[in-house]
Each structure stands twice: as C-alpha cells, then as structure tokens.
Structure 1
Amino acid sequence: MPKITSEELGTLPISKLLIKQSIPASIGVLVMSLNVLVDSIFVGNWIGPLAIAAISVVLPVTFFVAALGMAIGVGGASIISRALGANQLEKAKQTFGNQITLTVVVTISMAIVGLAFTDNLILAFGGKGEIFDFAKPFYTVVFYGVPFLALTMMGNIVIRSEGKPKYAMIAMIIPSISNLTLDYLFIYVFDWGMQGAAWATTISYFISFLYLIYIFRSNRSELRINTSHLKLETPILKEISSLGSVTLARQAMVSLVVLILNNILFGLGGEALVAVYAIIGRMLMFALFPVYGIAQGFLPIAGFNYGAKKFDRVKESIYTAIKYASVLGTIVYLGLFFFPTEVASLFLSSKEGLPANEVAINAYVLEHISTAMRWVFAATPIIALPLMGGAYFQAIGKAVPAMLLTLSRQGFFFIPLVFVLPYFFGEMGVWTSFAIADVLATIVTAWYLNREIKKDLQQ
C-alpha cells in the first residue's frame, strides 16, 4: 500500500477537506457514543436503572485518568500537525515518542492511586445508597484497563493529526463493536452483571490498542519511530504539557461537574434524579457526535495550515467549521426537543416482575426527563462557536486562551450557577444552569476569537 502523506491538509479546498476529515471523525464519535448509549440500554434493561446511575458515577473517575492520555494526545498532536506543516518530520516523530512514554508512566501511576482509594472516590462522586454496590465492581475492573484506554485515545488523536481520519475512525469503531458483543455475552448470556459490563469495556480497548500498534508499525503512518524517540525531551514535554493541560482541565471540569451534580441531584430527588441525569449524560455524549466530529476534523487542518503560514486557509477553516457545526447542532436540538420521552424510554426496562423500587424509579425518570432534556440541550444550536474557539487556540499552540475559553462554560459559569439557582428554583435551577452557561460562554468566545483573528491572522 502506498504511503499516505499529510500534504493534502495544506492543498485541498477547505470545505472538501473539512468534510473529508470530519465525516470519519463524526462516524468514530458516533460509534463510540452509540457504544456508550447501547451499553447503557443493555445495562438498564438487563441489570436495572441503578446500574445506569452507577456507570454515570464511575465513568468520570476512570475517564479522568484516561483523559490524561487524551491530553497528552491533543498536546502532542498540535505540535505534530504544525511540524508536518513546516516539513519538520523528525520533530513530529520525537514528539510522538515522548507522548508514548509520558502516557505509560502517568496513567499506570494514576491507576495505582485510583485503585488504592476505590471506596472514597466512588462515594465522593455520588455513589451513595444502593448505587454504591453497583458501582464498585464496575469501577474496579475498568480501572485495570485505564492505561490501554489512555494509549488508545492518545494514538487515535495522533493519527488524526497526520491527516488520516479513516484509521482513527476504525480505532474508535473496534472497541465499540467488541464492547457490545462482549456485553451480550458477559451480561446477558453469562449473567456476570456489572463485572461483565466492566470486562467488556476493558477488553475492547485492549483490542483497539493492538490495532493502533499495527498502524504505527506499518507504512500507513509517517510517524514510524524507534527507541531513541522514546527518550523524554524537556522542551517537547513542556509544550505537550502546556497544550495538553487544556484537554485535561476540560475533562477534570467534566468530572467535577458530575461530582457536584450527582450530589446536588441526590439531595433533591435521591437515586431517581441521579438516574435522570445519567440518561441525559449519555445523550450529551451521543447526540452531539456530528459537532464533536467537526471539531476533531478542524484541529489538524488549522494546525497544519498555521504551521505552513497559510493564514487565509486557517480563517476559512474556522468560519466553515462553525457554520457546519451550528447547522448540525440545530438539527440535534430539534430531535431531542420533540422526542425526549421516547429517547429516555430506551434506557428503561419494561420487563415483567421488576422490583417495586425500580418501577418507581422508571416512572420518576419518565415524568421528569422531558423538561430536563429540553433545558440541558437548549443552547445546542450555538455551542459550535465556543467549541471551535477553544479548539483553534489548541491547534495553533496558544495554551492560555485555549484554557480560559475551555473552562469558561463549566468552570466560570455553570458551577456557580448550579450552586445558586437550585437554592431558589430547585430541580429546575439545575437544568436551566446548562443553557445559561452555554449562552454566556458563546458570547465570551465570540468576542475573544474575533479579536484574535483580526490580530493574529493578518498576512
């Protein structure tokens, strides 16, 4: 097979290039999100609604450690895209080697710490009452596989930074298909419960990890490294850490938000209200897949052309990405606005003989989900702008504005709102906090991004 190069990032028309990069990225995000969605449906129907709540409690903890791999991946990918744009292949290889070493060391260390404080972390993230017994076995098994999950996330992002989205898409499809297959075997056939769901997840990411090793060792990648590239270099580490800290901070903020929300919602409505948010959380990962796909497709385009000093192409990529993502975000919102109950019912078991408490939880979820879903997704048509704004500054290597814009929605706006509004409006205060925070973050990002484009992208 002939070697594929990254040169088309700087030559193809932006609209065509963005579609070519974004469709595989969107499909990858869709399949991965469907994996989480269907996994939750399987768990909800075969184990129960408390199992969905348990997964909602555990995933932010484990994914935070896995997000270390994503952070290292994004930080290094920005360097790699710009290095390839400037014809500095050796720098790109050295960066990738440093990413591998850093990911292995950091995630194994964090996994050890996470397993040492299992009970404390589960309780802190809202795994209280009956939820705890479901969450612990899932947490323990998944944490064993966190290093493979982190390496998979890191490698996936690096492949995309080379301008090879199809391989990145396959790397995301593999764990999704294998996870659903193993879910059926481990949960439905073998009746392993939450441990079965956890082993399905862990094994699936290990399989994807093996696929990525194959890709990077073949001529499909320009980043065929040797052992010398694995030696840590201080300047590269500093840049990876600086840019990667944006992604890490974003995931840390997501985990913090879940921690806060689960505790607030538990106080307002117990396990049932936590289950409502668990379903909404799954939809936040699934429904926005086309918007996230465009953001992922946009990153290497902006980074490569910025490194090549093709600033007109950088500006065009920003405007095109925002336009496409806004249209798709609007379509997503309309679907969820008109069919929230139908979506929620997919997660709930309708089989005969359910325990009385689970029947009560199902009824509560269906009663409360419509209002919650509509408010949480109310600003979806405009979230493209803050997403692309943060992605742009990461792509061009400007960590500080990327960090500030990334944290603005959840850190500067949402968390203060969700502490204040429920005091006055109860449960409704929680859901409206999402929409208000999205609007405020969009206004701030629009002003700052417009200022930086005028100042930084003038030839």
Structure 2
Amino acid sequence: MEQAAEDFGTGDLKKLLLRQAVPASVGILFLTVNMLIDTILVGRWIGSIAIAALTVVTPIIFLMASVGFAIGVGGSSVLSRALGAKNIEKAKKSVAHQIVMTSVLTILLMLAGLLFTDWMLKLFGAQGDIVSPAKTFFYPVLLAGPLQALGAMGNSIMRAEDKARYAMIGMITPSVMNLVFDVAFIKFMDMGVFGAALATSLSFLMGFLYLLWYFIYKSDIKLEFRHFLPDWKLTGEIGALSFTTLARQSVISALSVLLNHQLFEHGGETSVTVYGIVSKMLMFALFPVNGIMQGFQSIAGFNFGAEKYGRVKEIVKISVWSASILAIVVYTLILIFAEPIAKLFIDDAQVIAQTPNALRWVFAASPVIAIQLIGSTYFQAEGKAVKSLLLTLTKQGFFLIPLILILPDKFGIFGIWVAFPIADVLATLVTGSFLFFAMKKLSDGKL
C-alpha cells in the first residue's frame, strides 16, 4: 500500500493513467468479447429466440451484479481517499464492510428472484415464445449471481490497491471460462439454453475462486475479525457513494424493461433481438473509454484524499481528452462496419436488415460522452454522493426514459434508436457544466 501511495501521489499522471487504464480496458474487452461471442454462439447454435430470452434475463442478473459493482466502486472511493490520507485502519475496515454488504444484499436479491420468478420475467419483457427459454436461463444464473457480484466488488478493490493487472486477470478468467463451457455444453453436449446458463454460472464461480485466491495470497490488505464489526458511519459513507452507481445500474435495468416492452410493441420479437445485439455492442465498443474511467477514479480519489488538487485537475483533463479521442475512433468504426457486425451475430434476414441503422443511431453521440462519464465519476471519486448521483442519472433517468416513452408513438422504432444520441448530448451538456465549475472551485481553493 505504501508503494501505491508513492506512485498515485507523485508519479507521472499520464503513465499512471496508462498503467491503470490499459489493464482495466483489457479486462473489460475480454468481458465484453465474452458477452458478444456468447450471444453469437447462442444465436447460431440455438436460435434468434434464445437471444431474445437472454436479452430479457440479462438486465435482471445485471442488477444483482450491479450491487457488487456499486459497492466496489463506492467503497473504493472511500478506500482510495483513506490510502491517500494514510488511514490504513479505515482502508481495511472499508474492504471488510464491502464484503459483508455485497454478500447480504445479493443473497436477499437471489431469494427474491426465486420467490417471484414469473412476475419478474414478465416485468422485464418475457412475452410469447420468449417466456420458456428465459425461465430456463434464469434459474442457474440467478443462483450464481452473488458470486459474480463479489467478483465485481473485488475488482474495484484491486485497482484501488494499484493492482490493476490482477483486476484485469479477475475479469479475463470468468470470460474465458464461459466460452470454454459454452462450447462444451452447447456445441458438444447439445444442452441448449440450459447449457448456456450452466456455462455462465460456472464462469461466475471461477471468478469468485480467483478473488478468494487474491485476497488470501496477493492483497496488501490483511483483514482481521475486528474489521468486520459494524461501523455504521462507515457503512453509511460506503452506501451513499455506492448508491450512485447502483442507482445508475437500476435505472439501466428499468430502461431495459421499458425498452423490451416498447420494442416488442412497435417491432415484435425481431426488434427485441436487434436491441440484444446493439446492447452487447454498447458494452463492447466503448471498452477503452470505460477503462480510462475506472483507472481515473482511483488516481483522482487518492490525490483528493492527499489534498493534491493540482494533480486532480490534471488527471481530469488528461482523462477527458484521452477518452474523447478513443470514443471518436469507436464511432468511426461503427459507421464503417455496422453491416458486417450485424451479420456476425446471426443469419436472420430481418434482424440483419434492422441492426446496422440501429447501431449507427445509438452510437451517434459517442464522440461527446467522455465528458459525461468522467464528470460523474469525478464527483464519486471526490466523495460528493448527491452530485454524483444526480449526474449519473441524467442520461438514462432524466432524458432517455422520457424520450423512449414519447418518441416511438410518433416515429416508431426509429424513435427508440434516435432517443439514445439525444439523451447523450443533453446529459453531456449538464455534466460538463457541473465539471467546469468544480474545476474552477479547485483552482480557487474553494471546496
């Protein structure tokens, strides 16, 4: 931990960001490539209706994983600032509390999923022929959900410890194993949708076992029983910052519910399948931008805790420019290769006909989203839970959901696709304004 303190507080910021962002980006790349290939294999080996089923179930499981991810992100803000202030005891207690909070909350969500399966699947858009395969996929993945959540939580702790390479391996391991299990269970054992679910569940287990190994043998944070004793003030601090990320993920899940229903109403099962492909590309294509965002938070949080505000301003500037350039590259590639991307997933003519246009519109505002992402992450790193929460909700909650409700009635399916770039631009304007004034306050010494 001392080496991390020395590097985060005094090292060259561009090199630090590169050292943090590259492993994070590679990890996200493997994770999203796994999702893409998983969708391709399911589409080609099982059928388009199976992609629709995964599209319905994914946001439910994503919500459970989001609890671990949210607690990890919120907790790593506390952890990074504690390390920057050299408060090692608080750093250890924050890790212990993250483990307990993630375990308890995700087990409760798992039990809720088992009790209210039919209602939950219907809520998230399971209709017609989608219901049966969705239920088949749901149960095994739900039972393994807490393991995935703990893996997501641990990943943020690794980055806060300046162990970005271990975090990268923690993301790669379940991704690779999922593909191995996919081939075994779907292709060779012909287990269909259940095989896909079993492969996903076992990959969650592999990720959890890696996390366990890391904490026992590689982590600098050695926990004792006293660190797990309830500290309600610390729990509240972690919870407030975690709620920002959890609220965003919850709104994304709510958006998925709305989208699945609107897509089914205006375009049937074909349009649900199209969005299944688009949503996977949203996770995949922006992996370098998300890698910069994750690397940025640990560095900004540490320097804010160490009261090195000049370095905080500099890392904000570097991160925004770097992420913007990468986002422009991503959008250019989407424009050029939209049709080959659609054909890669499936050979259904109707889906292939609709997907390229959807991809181009959904990604249309990608060049400006770096300000939005880095801006909301900055306030979380600084420990400003309320501002971070509000800015995090601007795109999906304040703009995209209302647009999805309004535009399809006037423009049909096109109204759904064009809602995405409009929401991105509006959210960027709002977040950019907040970030500008925050940087001005840092320059003036008014925190």
TM over 0.5: yes
- Contact 2:70/2:245 (<8 A) preserved: yes
2:225 corresponds to which residue? Answer: 227
- Contact 1:25/1:165 (<8 A) preserved: yes
What is the rounded CA distance, in whole Å, between the counterparts of 1:45 and 1:377 in structure 2? 25
* TM-superposed deviation, 1:367: 1.2
- Contact 1:76/1:95 (<8 A) preserved: yes
1:61 corresponds to which residue? Answer: 60
Is 2:388 the partner of 1:389? no
- Contact 2:57/2:121 (<8 A) preserved: yes
What is the rounded CA distance, in whole Å, between the counterparts of 2:33 and 2:353 in structure 1? 24
* TM-superposed deviation, 1:457: 4.8
2:330 corresponds to which residue? Answer: 332
**C-alpha distance after superposition, 1:213-238 (max 9, x if no partner):** 111112x3221111221122101110
Is 2:346 the partner of 1:380? no
What is the rounded CA distance, in whole Å, between the counterparts of 1:193 and 1:3 in structure 2? 50
1:243 corresponds to which residue? Answer: 241
What is the rounded CA distance, in whole Å, between the counterparts of 1:320 and 1:47 in structure 2? 45
What is the rounded CA distance, in whole Å, between the counterparts of 2:295 and 2:172 in structure 1? 17
1:285 corresponds to which residue? Answer: 283
1:36-55 aligned within 5 A: 36-55=35-54
- Equivalent residue for 2:391, pick from 373, 398, 405: 405
What is the rounded CA distance, in whole Å, between the counterparts of 1:7 and 1:113 in structure 2? 45
* TM-superposed deviation, 1:212: 1.2
1:452 corresponds to which residue? Answer: 438
What is the rounded CA distance, in whole Å, between the counterparts of 2:142 and 2:354 in structure 1? 32
Report the AA paired with residue 23 of structure 1. Answer: V
Give the secondary-structure state (helix, strand or coil) at the position aligned to 1:346. Answer: helix
- Contact 2:76/2:156 (<8 A) preserved: yes
What is the rounded CA distance, in whole Å, between the counterparts of 1:457 and 1:278 in structure 2? 45
What is the rounded CA distance, in whole Å, between the counterparts of 1:148 and 1:312 in structure 2? 39
What is the rounded CA distance, in whole Å, between the counterparts of 1:254 and 1:455 in structure 2? 31
* TM-superposed deviation, 1:383: 0.5
- Equivalent residue for 2:255, pick from 254, 257, 273: 257
What is the rounded CA distance, in whole Å, between the counterparts of 1:119 and 1:345 in structure 2? 33
Give the secondary-structure state (helix, strand or coil) at the position aligned to 2:219. Answer: coil
Report the AA paired with residue 290 of structure 1. Answer: P
2:298 corresponds to which residue? Answer: 300
Residues 3 and 454 (structure 1), Cα distance of their counterparts in 2 relative to 1, 3 Å cut? closer
Report the AA paired with residue 419 of structure 1. Answer: L
Report the AA paired with residue 415 of structure 2. Answer: G
Give the secondary-structure state (helix, strand or coil) at the position aligned to 1:450. Answer: helix
* TM-superposed deviation, 1:458: 3.6
What is the rounded CA distance, in whole Å, between the counterparts of 2:112 and 2:128 in structure 1? 24
Give the secondary-structure state (helix, strand or coil) at the position aligned to 1:130. Answer: helix
1:322 corresponds to which residue? Answer: 320
CA-atom RMSD in angstroms:
1.2
* TM-superposed deviation, 1:269: 1.1
- Contact 1:73/1:158 (<8 A) preserved: yes
What is the rounded CA distance, in whole Å, between the counterparts of 2:199 and 2:10 in structure 1? 42
* TM-superposed deviation, 1:25: 0.2
Report the AA paired with residue 351 of structure 2. Answer: V
1:356 corresponds to which residue? Answer: none
2:415 corresponds to which residue? Answer: 429
* TM-superposed deviation, 1:336: 0.7
2:76 corresponds to which residue? Answer: 77
Report the AA paired with residue 349 of structure 2. Answer: A
What is the rounded CA distance, in whole Å, between the counterparts of 1:145 and 1:306 in structure 2? 37
4+ residue segments displaced more than 3 Å: 2-6, 456-459
Give the secondary-structure state (helix, strand or coil) at the position aligned to 1:222. Answer: coil
Give the secondary-structure state (helix, strand or coil) at the position aligned to 1:378. Answer: coil
Report the AA paired with residue 420 of structure 2. Answer: F
* TM-superposed deviation, 1:4: 5.7
Indicate the structure with greater helix content: 2
1:355 corresponds to which residue? Answer: none
- Contact 1:5/1:222 (<8 A) preserved: no
What is the rounded CA distance, in whole Å, between the counterparts of 1:101 and 1:390 in structure 2? 26
- Contact 2:121/2:135 (<8 A) preserved: yes
TM-score by length of 1: 0.95
**C-alpha distance after superposition, 1:298-333 (max 9, x if no partner):** 010000000001111100110100101001101110
What is the rounded CA distance, in whole Å, between the counterparts of 1:370 and 1:170 in structure 2? 33
- Contact 1:101/1:232 (<8 A) preserved: no
1:7-46 aligned within 5 A: 7-46=6-45
1:352 corresponds to which residue? Answer: none
Give the secondary-structure state (helix, strand or coil) at the position aligned to 2:220. Answer: coil
Q: Which runs of 5+ in 2 are unaligned?
A: none
Is 2:207 the partner of 1:215? no
1:276 corresponds to which residue? Answer: 274
What is the rounded CA distance, in whole Å, between the counterparts of 2:284 and 2:402 in structure 1? 26
* TM-superposed deviation, 1:131: 1.0
Identical-residue share of aligned pairs (%): 47
What is the rounded CA distance, in whole Å, between the counterparts of 2:437 and 2:353 in structure 1? 45
2:340 corresponds to which residue? Answer: 342
- Equivalent pairs, count: 445
- Contact 2:52/2:272 (<8 A) preserved: yes
What is the rounded CA distance, in whole Å, between the counterparts of 1:346 and 1:226 in structure 2? 50
Report the AA paired with residue 89 of structure 1. Answer: I
